[in-house]
Amino acid sequence: MATVRLLIFAAVFAWADAHAHVAASTAAHTSPLAWTFEPWVVVALAVSLALYVAGYWRLRTRGAQGRKRRAARLAAFGIGWITLGVALVSPLHALSEWLFSAHMLQHELFMLVAAPLLVIGRPLAVWLWAFPASARTRLGAAARSRWIKLPWRWLTLPAVAWTLHAAALWCWHAPRFFEAALARPGIHTLQHASFLASALLFWWTVFGRASDAQGSSNAHAMLSLFTTMVHTGALGALLTLAPGVWYPSCIETTLALGSDPLQDQQLGGLVMWVPGGLAYLVGGLLVGARWLARRPQRIGSTVR
């Protein structure tokens, strides 16, 4: 069941992000502080919230067992949903068309705040309960089909998810590809969708996988977080310490707002370097706490 859940989840929000960016591109540079109420994005966000509330309420009425855990997941989903809404609808989305630093902040909100919180919130597990029992049965049967299970097992291997996420980050920040994304709305849509989808896969390997008795999932999660913190920090440092502007297409809009293009790039690099590194550190601490919480249980079972 987890297979179809995250695949649909990634597709829904990547699709919403794609439509949001197309809308912003068609009205590019009209105002750096405009709200982006693209209909498809607003509908996708509204439906996702309505399904979660409906599913959560139905689960809540089934009994008190697990209520605290469900409440914690509700809070995580709510904060992640709000973060995604800020990135897609608020003036930050329009400002990202003008300033590289705003663009980087938007990306970091996708990958380091919304993605992990949405994964922790288990939205598709809750959404499923918003449907009638017959529909839940059909969806469960579809999730167990081979054509979904096999790709899912491959995509959620820690090494594969790590590589896809790292490739998305480094490739899209290469000047040639970043400039192409700025010049063509379709390519920019692909950039945003790949950031969000790869981040959801990455954080699924960190928080979504069940830890086994030896704690190997926790070990993989810690390794993934540490190495990602290192290579994203390196990319942020390169942007911050670069002697010149990497992306000439950002110069005109940055100057139009009275900012220095190189300083704006340095600020964007710092956003990835410092707050980004802190996010991975917090994730590592949470995984470490989860790992330690399992040790007394294993020790107790060994004694018995």
Q: Are 268 and 103 in contact (CB under 8 A)?
A: yes
Is 123 within 8 Å of 9 (Cβ atoms)? yes
- Reading the chain (304 residues) residue by residue, the pLDDT tens digits are 444 444 445 555 554 554 445 444 444 445 778 888 888 888 989 999 999 999 999 888 876 677 888 999 999 999 999 999 999 899 998 899 899 999 999 999 999 999 999 999 998 889 989 999 888 888 878 878 888 888 888 998 999 999 999 999 999 999 999 999 988 888 988 998 899 999 999 999 999 765 444 456 888 899 999 999 999 999 999 999 999 999 999 999 999 999 999 999 999 999 999 999 999 999 999 998 888 877 655 444 444 4
Q: Under a CB-based contact definition with an 8 Å cutoff, are residues 118 and 80 in contact?
A: yes
| DSSP 3-state of 189 | helix
Dmax (CA) of the chain = 71
pLDDT at position 215: 58
Determine the pLDDT at residue 189: 82
Give the closest residue to 44 by CA, choosing from 94, 93, 9, 1: 9
pLDDT at 15: 47
Quote the pLDDT of residue 33: 82
Helix (H, G, I), strand (E, B) or coil at 245: coil
Q: Cα separation of 116 and 126, whole Å? A: 16
- Kindly report the CA angle at 84 between 140 and 171, in degrees rounded to 5? 90
pLDDT given at position 274: 93
The rounded distance, in Å, linking the Cα atoms of 37 and 78 is 20
